[in-house]
Amino acid sequence: MKRLTQSLVGLLLACGVCAEAGADKQPRANLAQPAYTKEVVVWVNEKGETISTETHYVQALTSALQENQPSISTPDTNGAPPHALSKNSNDHPVPAKGKPKNLPHHPHKHPKPAVSHSHQNQHPNANFGISYSPYKADRTCKNQEEVNQDLDRISSYSFIRIYGTDCDQTKTVTTAARRHNMQVFAGIYDLTNFPSSLDAFSEAITDPNGKKDWSIFHTIAVGNELVNGGTNSATDVAAAVQTARSILRAQGYTGPVVTVDTFSVHLDHPELCHVSDYCAANCHAFFDATQQPAGAGAYALEQARSISAGAGGKRTMITESGWPHAGDANGGAVPSKENQLAAVESLRRSFEKRRGDLVLFTAFDDLWKDDNMYTFNAEKFWGIHGGL
């Protein structure tokens, strides 16, 4: 045997595998149980002479393959067959053979996909508001068709803010907004002719049959920056808000009634927040010479939080915020198209989880406006969607 071992050339051949009889005759119901076969390996030298044998027990091929296949369930004649799940199937059921019993059959009906409430598939403007003024460059009023065309361009926003009742704008804008299922944040600009100026809201939403539909209004504002402009005192404005709310409630309007002023006025006069149904503040980072456009959103959000903190936690909406694309620099705050894009993106990002609390300023360039020493020759050029 020693000589025979030394004469081996190292080429050893497995001459056969012998499986025990009956290994492939297992009942179908037992396929899930491991099956084994006996493997006999015969080692030979270069002359074909047997020198040794080895015996191994290995898992049968059918059993090994089964580990990577869906398990098979035996149909239950007393009910519907269960759905077996395969490994790594991500919990998708393997269809059972035949139609399950005791289930209704609707051959032409298919389940509707679940509706996602994520902002991922929304338009970037969805749920945000935007401000709008229906005036031409020569300060004449736009007619219904012109207002319709304007709102066609900004219909991706959920609501639109207007400031007054002149030019019959409450009627023309609500009419145009209904075409796009938008709401209108309406208001009276000042307290001239107050409270009769409130009649414009009821008239705008009354159909030919006398029926009123107040649902078009997102909010009704009493004044815009009246305290900041020195037009009225905070006490006068607060009293006007209370009067307006009583009148509008009696007419059937149940939505928010507020007064809009700058964020600094709200911080100094929290009573304006208390009398309003929510705090409504205009806030533009551009008017702070230390601000950059990329921080416009964080700046506005910080002011909103400060106002709410001073008003006992009351909700604050930023009712104007934007950045001019032309004009003179205010220190480090520089008007340009690129800076406007950066500021608007910053605002959208900062208010992503509070979209309903931001009104972007403004839809189009307001070429009818005048500049003064406080506006840096930029008053006409805040339009996000270009000129008209």
Mean pLDDT, range 325-351, rounded to an integer? 98
Q: What is the helix, strand, coil percentage profile of the chain, to 5?
A: 30, 15, 50
What's the pLDDT at 280?
A: 99
Mean pLDDT over all residues of the chain? 79
Higher-pLDDT residue of 239 and 32 is 239
Q: Give 45's pLDDT tier (boundaries 50, 70, 90).
A: low
Task: Answer whether residue 33 shows pLDDT above 50.
Answer: no
Round to whole Å and give the CA distance between 261 and 270. Answer: 11
Q: Give 46's pLDDT tier (boundaries 50, 70, 90).
A: low
Residues 6+ apart with CB under 8 A from 338: none
What's the pLDDT at 311?
A: 97
pTM beyond 0.75: the answer is no
Residues tagged active-site:
320
Mean pLDDT, range 20-36, rounded to an integer? 40
What's the pLDDT at 110?
A: 32
Burial class of residue 252, CB neighbours in 10 A (0-12, 13-18, 19+) = exposed
Residues 120-149 pLDDT 10s? 567 899 999 999 999 999 999 999 999 999
Residues 278-302 pLDDT 10s? 999 999 999 999 999 999 999 999 9
Sign of CA dihedral 179, 133, 316, 250: negative
Mean pLDDT, range 20-27, rounded to an integer? 40
How many Cβ atoms are within 10 Å of 143's Cβ, its own excluded? 13
What's the pLDDT at 139?
A: 97
* Beta partners for residue 304, in sequence order: none
What's the pLDDT at 332?
A: 97
How many Cβ atoms are within 10 Å of 129's Cβ, its own excluded? 28
Round to whole Å and give the CA distance between 350 and 126. Answer: 15
Range of lowest pLDDT (33-37, 99-103, 122-126, 240-244): 99-103
Mean pLDDT, range 302-328, rounded to an integer? 98
What's the pLDDT at 114?
A: 34
DSSP 323: -
Mean pLDDT, range 358-382, rounded to an integer? 96
Contact present, 31 and 72 (Cβ < 8 Å):
yes
Q: Going from the N-terminus, what domains does the chain have, and what CATH number goes with each?
A: 129-375 (3.20.20.80)
Round to whole Å and give the CA distance between 158 and 111. Answer: 30
Task: Answer whether residue 27 shows pLDDT above 90.
Answer: no
